[in-house]
Structure 1
Amino acid sequence: MPDPAPTGREHDPLGVPRPGRTVTGPVTEIVPTGVLVRVGPAPHGPEGLLRDDELAGRAVRVGDTLTVRIVRVDAARPRIDLALAADSRTAREGTDAELAVTAALAGAAVVRGMYGAPLARFEKTAGDFATAADLEAEKVILDLVRAARPQDAVTGEESGSTGPGGASGTERMWLVDPLCGTLNYAARNTLVAVNVALRAGADLTVAASADPFSGEVFWTDGERAHVRRDDGVDEELTPSPASRLVDVNLDPPFPNAPGFAAARLLADARFAERFQTRVLSTTLALAWVAAGRRAAYVTDGDPRDNVHFAAGIALCQAAGCVVTGLHGEPPHTGAGGLVAAADRETHTALLRMIGDPLPPGR
């Protein structure tokens, strides 16, 4: 899908990204010299030509999504020349971490490009739905992952589990949440994330969480965690409790109720004295714990092979955060839920409040 609607110096007045910019868009037509790729805002944005020599024999069909680089824009003719982006060339040969980053950024480009447009909604459960952006972003991500790792299984938020094994017990499983924060997005709120993670055996080994609107992608190779911005420079993530901001997920399900209730935690006087609450309603907040922008994140639910939480958990663990279940047990065991904190002191304080809640009003 196309880059976002034209804003500022990254686009010309016609909405075409300037030369050097990377865009993800659909193939709209096969022509004798190559393929046309839409590089401007949907649905009638301008198209660029990607020549056959750039494709190097790669089979492409109308509707396929490609990540391309704008090489030349000739407004007089008009004509836009494209090159296949380096990420598209190297995803198959690259590391798992590089693939996670590439896939998350490709999904983020779709989410960004469709933002603000009228979108079809597809009801899932009461109060929950997917949009056309969820489905398109997931398709782009899964196409990249399947092309690069055809022997791996994949679980997508919208399409479920596919590939070898197809079940949660498979050895290598990619976990994809193409748009975490769908309700935010549908309300034209930009607090969302695109999450891609790999579980190999029992461990989350690599992950990427892309913010479509800041241009940042938080990623880990399982050893360290970084943030990469538009300039391509990686900065190592450093957790910090200094903000005192704790993000609490108030969205269902609540499998540990009535023993644990997130709303009751917010009413605890000890919590109010020590922390300040934020509710992003997206697991972008988990990446922010790893990055030092939140002191902690608390949620109910089952995090095992969970497409919403996997990338954020991997980021927090690699950054050195303290990550456990609601009662201090290792993640993915026990009662479930999740407490991810920047340091041990913050984590201990939250566990105490969760395990020994004060009566309302105290």
Structure 2
Amino acid sequence: MARSALLNVMVNAAIKAGRSLSRDFNEVENLQVSRKGPADFVSKADLRAEQIVYEELRKARPTYAFLMEEGGVMEGTDGQHTWIVDPLDGTTNFLHSIPLFAVAIALQRGEDIVAAVIYNPVMDELYTAEKGNGAWLSDRKRLRVAGRRHLSDAVVATGIKTQGTANDALQLRQLAAINPAVAGIRRSGSIAIDMAWLASGRFDALWEAGLQPWDVAPGLLMVREAGGLVTDYAGQPGSVWNGQIVAGNEALQGALLKTLQPIQ
């Protein structure tokens, strides 16, 4: 696949930040096992990666706005374009030396997400997508969502939190209903990787709520460009702003949504 100049900018930023995270990741195991020490280290690694992404994107497109997990909103003069950035999706995995985390970047133009990059530096897997041009793995393999048609054959991904909020209690009820209906449930610890793996057919479907725009935006485009369907829990087109996703091919997404909707 020939990348556009815009996608090249995003890829270069993600890879440069990924190299920084990889160096820091190799130091995690050597840290003293204490809550303060590793957590503080990871926070610094996160901020370093975000600064790299910010500098690379700002240099290439100085008028674009930013929405970043750590840095928040930075207004631009362009008025139409916003970079949405998660420099380290899968922080808990990173902290525990689990090699499932990613740099995730999306570009919003007006109301639409038009380009996305998800990069796992440890596995060296680079997922890219542009609106209308498909989703790709390492520029060589075009991605398509899996073709399975029945939940009983499907491996379904989600996020499982344990903070005791109302949303978490709802998810436990959802898990109780979905678990016997599917072939398996997986939790990678990174929503960006979940959605990239859904787009590539490794996972068959996915659901989660309580998400932030930087969690959803890159994977949303990735799944759609791979032929998948993404909605919220009400069955409306999945938005980066309402924090809910139910995704998969048309058959599985519909079946999963039908299972989820009665659960309150």
- The TM-score normalised by the length of structure 1 is 0.63
Residue 256 of structure 1 deviates from its aligned partner by 7.2
Q: Which has the higher helix share?
A: 2
Structure 2: give runs of 5+ residues left out of the alignment. 32-36
Query: Identity of paired residues, percent?
Result: 26
Partner in structure 2 of residue 146 of structure 1: 58
Query: Given that residues 254 and 300 in structure 1 are in contact (C-alpha distance below 8 angstroms), is that contact kept between their aligned partners in structure 2?
Result: no
Partner in structure 2 of residue 280 of structure 1: 188
CA deviation profile, 1:90-137 (whole Å, cap 9, x unmatched): x9xx622221211111111111111131576667xxxxx952211111
Residue 302 of structure 1 deviates from its aligned partner by 5.0
Q: Secondary structure of the residue that 2:26 maps to in structure 1?
A: coil
CA deviation profile, 1:284-343 (whole Å, cap 9, x unmatched): 11110001010111111255xx112210111011111010001211112896511111x1
Superposition pairs for residues 151-300 of structure 1, below 5 Å? Answer: 151-164=63-76, 170-223=79-132, 224-228=134-138, 233-242=139-148, 244-251=154-161, 257=167, 261-268=170-177, 271-283=179-191, 284-300=193-209
Count, aligned residues: 249
Could you tell which deviates more after superposition, 246-255 or 110-119?
A: 246-255
Partner in structure 2 of residue 351 of structure 1: 257
Query: Given that residues 241 and 296 in structure 1 are in contact (C-alpha distance below 8 angstroms), is that contact kept between their aligned partners in structure 2?
Result: no
Residue 255 of structure 1 deviates from its aligned partner by 8.4
Higher RCO (C-alpha under 8 Å, 6+ residues apart): 2
1:209 and 1:348 mapped to 2: Cα distance? 26
1:189 and 1:312 mapped to 2: Cα distance? 21
Q: Secondary structure of the residue that 1:294 maps to in structure 2?
A: coil
Read off the aligned partner of 1:156 and give its amino acid letter.
M
2:58 and 2:240 mapped to 1: Cα distance? 30
Q: Which has the higher strand share?
A: 1
| Bigger CA radius of gyration | 1
Read off the aligned partner of 1:277 and give its amino acid letter.
I
Structure 1: give runs of 5+ residues left out of the alignment. 1-90, 124-128
Superposition pairs for residues 50-65 of structure 1, below 5 Å? Answer: none
Instruction: Give 1:312's match in structure 2, choosing from 219, 223, 231.
Output: 219
1:352 and 1:254 mapped to 2: Cα distance? 25
Give the direction of change, closer, same or farther, for the CA distance of 1:160–1:121 in structure 2 (3 Å limit): farther
1:162 and 1:328 mapped to 2: Cα distance? 32
Return structure 1 stretches of 4+ with deviation > 2 angstroms: 118-123, 251-258, 333-336
Read off the aligned partner of 2:44 and give its amino acid letter.
A
Give the direction of change, closer, same or farther, for the CA distance of 1:152–1:188 in structure 2 (3 Å limit): same
1:335 and 1:157 mapped to 2: Cα distance? 16
Query: Given that residues 155 and 182 in structure 2 are in contact (C-alpha distance below 8 angstroms), is that contact kept between their aligned partners in structure 1?
Result: no
Give the direction of change, closer, same or farther, for the CA distance of 1:133–1:333 in structure 2 (3 Å limit): closer
Partner in structure 2 of residue 116 of structure 1: 26
Residue 177 of structure 1 deviates from its aligned partner by 0.4
